[in-house]
Structure formats: C-alpha cells, structure tokens
Amino acid sequence: MSEYMKLGDVCVFYSGTGFPSEYQGKIKGKFPFYKVGDISKNVMLGYKFLTFCDNYIDLIVAEKIKGVIVPSDTVVFAKIGEALRLNRRGITICDCLIDNNVMGIKPKTNYLNIGYFYYWMCNLDLQKYSESTTVPSVRKTRIEKIDILVPNIAEQLKIADTLDKVTALIDKHKKQLEKLDELVQARFVEMFGIYPENSKCWETGIIRDIVADVRYGSSRPAVDNGKYPYLRMNNITYDGELDLSDIKRIDIPDNELDKCTVRRGDVLFNRTNSKELVGKSCVYNRDEMMVLAGFVIRVRVTDRVLPEFLVAFLNTDFSKQMGMRT
C-alpha cells in the first residue's frame, strides 16, 4: 500500500561546505568535492551516478574547512542560481563533499529505494519551491515539507527498473540525434562546398558586409545575487550550442544595458580563449534577457543572411582553422 510522507521524515539532508580557492584544483585525494559544474558535466555526459569530479581533497583539508561528509547514494543538485532551473540531479557513489551552492538528500533505505527516489527527484521542479528573490534558491526547511508517494520497496524497484529502460532508450535516441547533427554539418559542406575552393560558385563576400551591428560585452565582474544573468565564453560550446548549466550574475547600470544585452537571433562569437577554443560561436535562441561578458562579441546580421547560416559557416573546420592562425 502506498502513502504520502514528508521528505523530512523519509530522507536525510546534507548542506554544502565552503570551498576555499587555495584547496581547489587537486585531481587526487580521499574525497571528491563536487561543485555545480561537476553535477552538470556528469548529467550532460549521460551519467546518473557522479563519475567525474574536477577537485579532490584529503582528510586533513576536510577537517580544516569543517567539511560535511556526504555519503554514497545521496541525490545532489544545485540549490541556487540559474542552475537550479535546469533541475539536474546526480547520485554520489562514495563519501564526498559538496560546495555550498549544492544540497544533498539521502533517502532512508527502510522507506525509499535510491533508484526510485532519484527519478522522483528528477521529476520535481524545485523552481516552484524557490524563494521569491531575484536569484532563485531553495531552503531545506521548505523542501522537507514536500510530500512524496512511498509505495512498498518491491513496487519502487519495479518503477525504477522501468524508468532505467526508458532512460536507456532516450539516451540511444540522443546519440542518434548527435549523428544527425554531424550529418547536417556534412550536408552543409555538400550544399555549399568547402571554402575557399567554392566549387559551387556561390556568391562570396566579406563578413563585415552582412553585419548590421557588432558589440563587445561588459567588462564588469560577476557578483553574487546580481540582477541579471551573465553570459560568458564558457556558455558557448565548441560545436555551436548554448550551455547555461553554469550561469553567473551581474549588476549593471540601465544606461549600459542596450549595448551589452543579447536578444534572440544574435550571433555570439568568443573572441578570446585558448588557441583551440577561440572563435566558438552560436546563435542566441532564447527570449530571456542576458548580459554579455567582454570576451564575447555580439553580432547582429542584416537580412542578407540568416544568423544560423553564419554560425554554421563559422563552425566549419576552415573557419576554426583560420581562427587558430590569427
């Protein structure tokens, strides 16, 4: 028989730990120290269990920073900022630490199976429970009061197994879509040829002739609890997509907004980065207003060209190789 119970009665909650910069960057140690970006990276790679981590610490450091040790089979997630809205979840596989932008919830095994609880958490939109502030955030005291349906363990195992199979199917189709994306890129070359050979004899021109406006983003630093989301070079992927899993915030005067905000259809170009990453570009395809960081150029094109076409060209091997030569 199933019944509804409060999360606070059937789970143990874990808070994050402040992570001083002087202890960051170690790739080996007793404890992985998960940040929001680590959770996002694992989820984006298709991992339910946290497999990759960028930072490790040893026991001495954990004691020095008064770290809260989070056990295995704990569901962890971002509790503040834009990442909260993405609803990404991961399961810990060993004793670890989480930073103070992350919360962990471990189900009590006499009530909940970890697989069932994980999928239930993935279906829980935490934004609905966030505080009414500029920056979304959730509190333990509010989450503890959420009701969860608790079937018997056998039924939970059956549900988790079914959802595992569905997830595997979804992952398979995602990989097929990635192959289709590669096919689209190949089709682009097939239709328009390989520049600069131009075997199709298409009309050519200079990029500046199809551009209506070019602006740099803001050079102002990101701030905690800023008014606006801050779009940085790390939010543009190498293959021409937006990745908003790790968004900072910024405060900026109203009179500067027009020159450094983005709108749907803007082409974003990463002007400064490592040699192999400079020149990353994508189309901003959202309606939400964001402020652009200074290492990214905002390009607005004329009606002679679609922004998607320009980005497809900029992401060809030729364009990227040209960028690496400059």
- 109, 8: one domain: yes
Distance CA 217, CA 52 (A): 32
pLDDT at 54: 93
Domain hosting 304: range is 207-325
The pLDDT of residue 270 is: 87
Mean per-residue pLDDT over the chain, rounded: 87
pLDDT tier at 136, thresholds 50, 70, 90: confident
Q: Per the domain annotation, does 37 fall within a domain?
A: yes
Residues 6 or more apart whose Cβ sits within 8 Å of residue 194:
316, 318
Long-range contacts of 285-290, Cβ-Cβ distance < 8 Å, separation of 24 or more: 285/242, 286/242, 288/229, 289/228, 289/261, 289/262, 289/263, 290/228, 290/229, 290/230, 290/231, 290/261, 290/262
Whole-angstrom distance, CA of residue 197 vs CA of residue 143: 60
The mean pLDDT of 103-117, rounded to a whole number, is 97
Is residue 199 assigned to a domain?
no
Which of the four pLDDT bands, split at 50, 70 and 90, describes residue 278? Answer: confident
DSSP string, 109-148: TTT--HHHHHHHHHT--GGGGS-SSSS-B--HHHHTT-EE
Number of compact structural domains in the chain: 2
Rounded percentage of the chain residues whose pLDDT exceeds 70: 88
Mean pLDDT of 152-159: 95
CATH number at residue 268: 3.90.220.20
pLDDT, tens digit, for every residue of 39-77?
999 998 889 999 999 999 999 999 999 999 999 999 999
CA–chain centroid gap for 145, Å, is 28
The share of the chain scoring above pLDDT 90, in percent, equals 55
**Model pLDDT, residue 185:** 65
Looking at 160, 192, 224, the residue that finishes a domain is 160
Whole-angstrom distance, CA of residue 192 vs CA of residue 207: 16
Q: Is residue 32 domain-shared with residue 152, that is, in the same domain?
A: yes
Pair (138, 238) in one structural domain: no
Provide the pairing of β-strand 97-98 with 31-34: parallel
97 and 239 inside one domain: no
- Among residues 157, 212, 152, which one has the least CA distance to residue 2? 152
What are 118-127's pLDDT values in tens digits? 999 999 988 8
Whether 76 and 97 have beta carbons less than 8 Å apart is answered as no
pLDDT value at residue 299: 94
Q: Is 55 within the bounds of a domain?
A: yes
144 shares a domain with 29: yes
Both 230 and 91 in a single domain? Answer: no
Reported as a single tens digit per residue, the pLDDT across 192-216 is: 666 667 677 777 778 888 899 999 9
Q: What is the pTM (predicted TM-score) of this model?
A: 0.62
Q: What pLDDT sits at residue 205?
A: 77
Read off the pLDDT band of 98 (50, 70, 90). very high
Residue 275 has pLDDT above 80, yes or no: no
